[in-house]
Copies of this chain bind each other. A is one copy, B any other.
Amino acid sequence: MNITTKLNIVPFVSVDSMMKLVLAIGIEQFLTELARYVEEDFLRWESFDKTARVASHSTEGVIELMPASDGKMYGFKYVNGHPKNMLEGLQTVTAFGVLAEVDSGYPVLLTEMTILTALRTAVTSALAAKYLAPKNARTMAIIGNGAQSEFQALAFKALLGIDRLRLYDIDSTASHKCAANLANMGFDITICASGQEAVEGAEIITTVTADKKYATILTDNMVGSGIHINAVGGDCPGKVELHRDILLRSDIFVEYPPQTRIEGEIQQLADDHPVTELWQVMAGKASGRKNSKQITLFDSVGFATEDFSALRYVYDQLPRTGFYEELDLLADPDEPRDLFGMLLRAKQAAS
């Protein structure tokens, strides 16, 4: 399906269009539908051309390109991670992405992905928890109540029915912001004074903090048996959230081991520490949660196939919703070999 027949045009979903798209579909509906695309792509994991992201590190942060292809479509995301940005009124993470046809190499979609990344990260976390969290879990602690927190909460509600939240952030204004944003959305919300208090009674612990350093958001004594940990914030070298001892007591599930061993919580462990690939659990090739005592840990770092799924989903929504603009991105001479002639004719047209 091509939205446009004009060869020079690439449909563009701006931030404004993305918000309209999400709101027109409904946030929980969007999360539910997106989860189907993400799961679908995890289930055909082996058919993807995969590569660890291409990162350019600097003192203040990282800029990454994350490509993936299923042989028919190709997608990539540009994403930065700059924890200090927040202090300057900027986003820690901004992103945009492109979907293209493999057969022609022509892009078919350019879209903002700052909002979309928050949605796909939340969806991937909730999907993992569907396979790993204790059955009938209702209570989730969220440690770190910044830009990602509400999306996590709503994805867990949409996919697992989580309706009790225990919020903690070192900056309590963040927790109050999160609670206010989620008011009247069907949650019972408790703002907690410490991480220790937040985890009390929670069956799922989500850590989603932003500091670029070895932080210990969770210490070993805070994690009881039977818990599922959704570790979202530790996602680049030198940035982890969990005490190593927790990892040693957990069964660890990851997206793409070559990337997670560099970026995830498991950078604290030996290179051959056993981990299970999430797609194998989804495909029934490996066990998820085996019993009610087990501590399961989804060491989420975010993988390119998830962005590919998100790009695919957004692309499929465009014809019916129409929330996009037409971007004159691709040179389209009348005769393909006459790129220079196009330039000359533009000159004649202007004179």
Contact = CB atoms under 8 A, between A and B. Distances in A.
Nearest to A147: B339
Candidate in A56, A82, A98 with the most chain B CB atoms within 10 angstroms:
A56
Contact of A340 (B82, B86, B181, B335): B181
Contact of A350 (B23, B27, B331): B23
A9 to B, nearest CB: 10
A341 interface: yes
A71 interface: yes
A49 B56 contact: yes
B82 A27 contact: no
Contacts of A107: 78, 94, 96
A16 interface: yes
Interface of A: 7-8, 12, 14-16, 19-20, 22-23, 27, 49, 51, 54, 56, 58, 60-63, 65, 67, 69, 71, 74, 76, 78, 80-82, 85-86, 88-92, 94, 96, 98, 100, 102-107, 112, 114-115, 118, 145-151, 174, 177-178, 181, 327-333, 335-344, 346-347, 350
Contacts of A98: 78
Contacts of A174: 337
B103 A337 contact: no
A341 B85 contact: no
Contacts of A181: 338, 340-341, 344
Contacts of A336: 85-86, 89-92, 147
A106 B78 contact: no
Contact of A177 (B56, B114, B118, B341): B341
Nearest to A150: B340
A74 B67 contact: no
Nearest to A80: B105
25 contacts: A7-B89, A8-B15, A12-B327, A15-B328, A23-B343, A27-B343, A54-B54, A58-B102, A58-B103, A60-B102, A63-B69, A63-B74, A78-B100, A78-B107, A80-B104, A80-B106, A89-B336, A91-B333, A94-B105, A96-B330, A114-B330, A114-B339, A145-B337, A147-B337, A177-B341
Given A81-B105, A90-B336, 7 more contacts: A14-B327, A14-B328, A58-B69, A61-B104, A112-B331, A146-B337, A177-B337
A222 B297 CA distance: 66
A350 B20 contact: yes
Contacts of A23: 343, 346-347, 350
A2 to B, nearest CB: 12
A102 B63 contact: yes
A151 B19 contact: no
A324 to B, nearest CB: 12
Given A54-B65, A331-B115, A106 B89 contact: no
